[in-house]
């Protein structure tokens, strides 16, 4: 189990001053003391201070040493990592550090270990054993709600928690539920588990590792809004998750935790699982409802919204997996407990899937407001192969492209929106210096063109025309006219597309042009600055 991370500045100046030898000395000393399974060593991406390089940071303590020689590196392992003694004479004052070696300020609820709420049981319990789930506080929240709380109290607790939808929009969950409560007649709870965003697999891990958490959450939602039936619309490729959900439903019914008169109360609730057929558009909630009803999965006209006319035309709450997984701990521990983590405007935690040019890929759950720089350096182990950070996408294929100047923006819905970016679903694609933005946009547009449902002209035609322009730029045939046309169509598609997925398709192009316009312009001259695109080969042949 990793107990500490050693981060060494790997910028060119640090390397010229012996950072690589320092890293080797640290690794050798760690090996000598047999600490390989406990200590992880990696490079930082860059540092703004030059007078204290190379530096070494130790997490989770947050202690910074610098400037450090190879001999100092070995000494740090002996004294700090092996004997637990802080070396004061090597201190680099944290209040004057900037860049990737900036001192990370204390933040409400933040720790340098992951703060797990949604993932607290994943990998800990046996997902096939309901008794193991119950042993780890499973169904306690449902029992508390049915025995001690009225439905309106459950609703008010969720509203007071300020939980925002984790699917990307960040809409207040309690407010959405309250819209359904106001409607008369039959109601439904629908879980959107159609996780089709490229690079996103957080919901799959929740479903496979802790399926009962979703069932308990949906039952709580049903109790709060007065619904007696729930549906899980799951991505068709998630065969294992579907199998475990169905088994969990069976187990819960056997213990009277689902079905009629749950735990002897007057509340009854059943859950069904429906597998999708692989259409990306069904991640949009109204297209999902159409598919769930056995129709072609295309978006509906809104209004009316699903909270008024959803599944089978009845008022329906549609939440994604991560959002619902927060409900049981909120009911069990209270709204104040949940608000004690994250930021004032976006409390709680966020689950990210991290891919790309980082040393550690996978899932991470941290308090809302954690910066992208912190996530990369602390949880991602720094940039892979010492590459410089170039950009990141924070919401999967349809997310904003984030440049280095936004690395220290708090990762919450409000702060990201104010900076002109979007948090999205939490899929982090981290790209190093050798990534071509034009090529990245081209790969993304190929996906959107293939997945457009074709209902509206702006998306159906716009994605095809944007892809054509990007192809010309990649091949070295593009001109300034193609670039201008690309930008124009991107804005038209964003503004005029029928649904949120069509509106998000051009976001990588729009934000790419905003922060990396010179790279697009270089392609109009037949040049790819990173040498990735086919036009680079033609340029070499020409010379």
Write phi, then psi, for 233 (nearest 5 degrees).
-95, 105
Q: What is the pLDDT of residues 253-307, one digit of tens each?
A: 999 999 999 999 999 999 999 999 989 999 999 999 999 999 999 999 999 999 9
Mean pLDDT of 420-435: 89
Q: Using 50, 70 and 90 to split pLDDT, how confident is the model at 63?
A: confident
Q: Label residue 422 by pLDDT band (50, 70, 90).
A: confident
* 8-state DSSP, 167: T
Q: What is the pLDDT of residue 1?
A: 61
Residue 106 pLDDT greater than 70, yes or no: no
Instruction: State pLDDT tens for residues 442-500.
Output: 999 999 999 999 999 999 999 999 999 999 999 999 999 999 999 999 999 999 999 98
Contact predicate 251/287, CB 8 Å: no
Per-residue pLDDT at 538: 55
User: What is the model's pLDDT at position 80?
Assistant: 92
What is the per-residue pLDDT across 114-124, written as a single tens digit (0 to 9) for each?
A: 678 999 888 77
pLDDT greater at residue 35 or residue 489: 489
Mean pLDDT of 520-527: 95
Asked if the model's pLDDT at residue 131 lies above 90, the reply is yes
Give the mean model confidence (pLDDT) for residues 102-123.
57
- Rounded to an integer, the average pLDDT of 14-31 is 90
Taking 70 as the threshold, does the pLDDT of residue 95 lie above it? no
- Of residues 162 and 4, the one with the higher pLDDT is 162
- pLDDT, residue 281, reads 93
Sign of CA dihedral 160, 162, 163, 169: positive
Domain topology for 437-542: de novo design (two linked rop proteins) (1.20.1440)
pLDDT tens per residue across span 334-378: 999 999 999 999 999 999 999 999 988 888 899 999 999 989 988
pLDDT of residue 76: 93
Q: Which residues contact 425 (CB under 8 A, 6 or more apart)?
A: 166, 167, 168, 197, 200, 202, 395, 396, 399
Mean pLDDT within 167-185: 93
Q: What is the pLDDT of residue 91?
A: 82
Q: Is the Cβ–Cβ distance between 75 and 87 less than 8 Å?
A: yes
Tell me the pLDDT band of 49, cut-offs 50, 70 and 90.
low
Residue 99 confidence (pLDDT) above 50: no
The structural architecture, per CATH, of the domain 345-432 is: Roll (3.10)
Long-range contacts of 442-445 (CB under 8 A, 24+ apart): 442/467, 442/470, 442/471, 442/474, 444/397, 444/398, 444/508, 445/470, 445/505, 445/508, 445/509
> pLDDT grade, residue 111 (50/70/90)?
very low
The per-residue pLDDT for 42 is 79
What pLDDT sits at residue 103? 29
Asked if the model's pLDDT at residue 165 lies above 70, the reply is yes
User: Residue 105: which pLDDT band, with cuts at 50, 70 and 90?
Assistant: very low
Please compute the mean of the pLDDT values over residues 507-525 and round it to a whole number: 95
What are the structural domain ranges in the chain? 4-96, 130-338, 345-432, 437-542
Check: CB of residue 269 under 8 Å from CB of residue 142: no
CATH fold, domain 130-338, is Rossmann fold (3.40.50)
**Mean pLDDT computed over 32-58:** 78
Second CATH level (architecture) for the domain 4-96: 3-Layer(aba) Sandwich (3.40)
Give CA angle at 167 (466, 209), nearest 5°: 120
> Judging by DSSP bridges, how do beta strands 427-432 and 349-356 pair with one another?
parallel
User: 130-338: same fold as 4-96?
Assistant: no
Region 160-179 average pLDDT: 93
């Amino acid at each position: 189990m990793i107990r500490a991370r050693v981060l060494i500045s790997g910028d060119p100046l640090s390397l010229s001053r012996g950072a690589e030898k320092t890293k080797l000395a640290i690794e050798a000393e760690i090996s000598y003391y047999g600490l390989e399974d406990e200590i992880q060593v990696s490079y930082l991406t860059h540092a703004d201070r030059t007078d204290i390089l190379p530096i070494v940071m130790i997490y989770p303590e947050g202690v910074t040493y610098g400037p450090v020689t190879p001999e100092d590196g070995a000494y740090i392992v002996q004294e700090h990592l092996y004997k637990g003694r802080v070396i004061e004479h090597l201190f680099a004052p944290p209040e004057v550090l900037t860049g990737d070696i900036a001192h990370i300020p204390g933040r409400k609820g933040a720790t340098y270990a992951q703060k797990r709420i949604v993932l607290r049981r994943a990998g800990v319990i046996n997902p096939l054993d309901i008794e193991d789930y119950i042993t780890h506080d499973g169904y306690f929240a449902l029992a508390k709600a049915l025995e001690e709380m009225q439905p309106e109290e459950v609703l008010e607790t969720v509203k007071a928690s300020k939980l925002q939808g984790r699917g990307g929009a960040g809409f207040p969950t309690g407010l959405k539920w309250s819209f359904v409560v106001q409607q008369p007649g039959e109601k439904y709870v629908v879980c959107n588990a159609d996780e089709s965003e490229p690079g996103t697999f957080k919901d799959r891990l929740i479903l496979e590792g802790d399926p009962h958490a979703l069932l308990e959450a949906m039952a709580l939602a049903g109790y709060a809004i007065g619904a007696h039936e729930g549906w899980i619309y799951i991505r068709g490729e998630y065969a294992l998750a579907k199998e475990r959900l169905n088994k969990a439903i069976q187990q819960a019914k056997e213990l009277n935790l689902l079905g009629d008169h749950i735990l002897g109360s007057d509340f009854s609730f059943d859950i069904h699982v429906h597998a999708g057929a692989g259409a990306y558009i069904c991640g949009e909630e109204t297209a999902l409802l159409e598919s769930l009803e056995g129709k072609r999965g295309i978006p509906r006209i809104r209004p009316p919204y699903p909270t008024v006319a959803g599944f089978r035309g009845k008022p329906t709450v549609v939440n994604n997996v991560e959002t619902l997984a927060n409900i049981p701990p909120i009911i069990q521990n209270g709204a104040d407990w949940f608000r004690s983590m994250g930021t004032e405007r976006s409390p709680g935690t966020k689950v990210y899937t991290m891919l790309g040019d980082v040393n550690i890929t996978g899932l991470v759950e941290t308090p809302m407001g954690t910066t992208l720089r912190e996530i990369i350096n602390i949880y991602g182990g720094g940039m892979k192969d010492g590459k410089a950070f170039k950009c990141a996408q924070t919401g999967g294929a349809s997310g904003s492209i984030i440049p280095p100047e936004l690395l220290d923006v708090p990762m919450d819905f409000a702060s990201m929106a104010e900076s002109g970016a979007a948090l999205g679903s939490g899929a982090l694609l981290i790209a190093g210096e050798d990534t071509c933005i034009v090529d990245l946009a081209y790969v993304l547009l190929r996906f959107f063109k293939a997945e457009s449902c074709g209902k509206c002209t702006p998306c159906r035609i716009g994605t095809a025309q944007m892809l054509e322009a990007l192809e010309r730029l990649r091949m070295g045939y593009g001109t300034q006219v193609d670039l201008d046309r690309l930008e124009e169509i991107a804005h038209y598609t964003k503004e005029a597309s029928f649904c949120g997925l069509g509106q998000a398709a051009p976001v990588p192009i729009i934000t790419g042009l905003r922060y990396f316009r010179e790279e697009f312009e270089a392609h109009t001259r037949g040049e790819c600055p990173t040498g990735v695109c086919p036009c680079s080969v033609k340029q070499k042949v020409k010379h």
